[in-house]
Amino acid sequence: MSNNTWVEFQQSIKAQLEEQQEKQDHINSNLSELIPGFSREVLQIATALESSGNSNNGNFTFSRFSEVDYPRFDGEDVLGWIYKCEQFFEVDGTPDNVKVKFASIQLSGKALMWHQSFMKGRDRVWPGWGKYKGAIAARFGRHPFDDPLAELMKLKQQGSVEQYQESFDALLNRVELPINHAVSCFLSGFCDEIQNAVRMFKPQTIHDAYYLAKLQELPLLPSLEKLSLF
């Protein structure tokens, strides 16, 4: 390649690079003009939504998760419903002064009738969530002499490992136990054949104990199925 040809080639490449850079500068310039305006519009929308959700009259009209199904309650499993409500409030960031209003619109049946009676007794002054959940738990909870911890300690495997796990979980959710105590209690309820084998592995969690128990259960399934019929 001659010197003139080489110079022409370099000049051509340089011209192409300059043209591409000019196009990129033009695009960047347009973006820099658009982004501030777009950001202002987003900020205005967010401010309007926040204002509508926290107006001075106490009305709550906007929820970040308003399309998520809020837990409904008809009077069954009140503790499970309260737990779901509090999960929803935490994720959604629901203001304290509207939690009860938000919860009450999801009531039905006897739960709704109780709520209406409860509010009449308060001259329709809305209580705080803490007081409300205590009142609804007292109305729809279990018998006052119910002792889930005692039931948990007495629980024994009567069928499959899975059936025992479900019964154990239902009771464990109603008490507060350190994990090591819960595991010990869980193991003590297994039939002797499974319990002795699982204890050898010294499981540290209920999940680990359940997994080991399922493995030990396989050769025992026929006899366990017969036991569950009685």
DSSP string across 185-215: HHHHTS-HHHHHHHHTT--SSHHHHHHHHHH
Domain end among 95, 111, 140? 140
Question: Residue 209 class from Cβ within 10 Å (0-12 exposed, 13-18 middle, 19+ buried)?
Answer: buried
Neighbours of 157 (CB within 10 A): 22
Of 210, 204, 203, the closest CA to residue 160 belongs to: 210
pLDDT tens-digit map of 77-95: 888 898 889 988 888 888 9
Count of structural domains within the chain: 3
Q: 156 lies in a domain?
A: yes
The confidence score (pLDDT) of residue 32 equals 55
The confidence score (pLDDT) of residue 230 equals 45
Query: What residue ranges of the chain have pLDDT lower than 50?
Result: 35-40, 42-43, 46-47, 49, 51-62, 65, 229-230
CATH number for the domain including 199? Answer: 1.10.1200
Domain end among 140, 157, 180? 140
The confidence score (pLDDT) of residue 120 equals 86
The confidence score (pLDDT) of residue 54 equals 46
**Domain match, 4 and 31 both:** yes
**Domain match, 90 and 126 both:** yes
pTM attached to this predicted model: 0.51
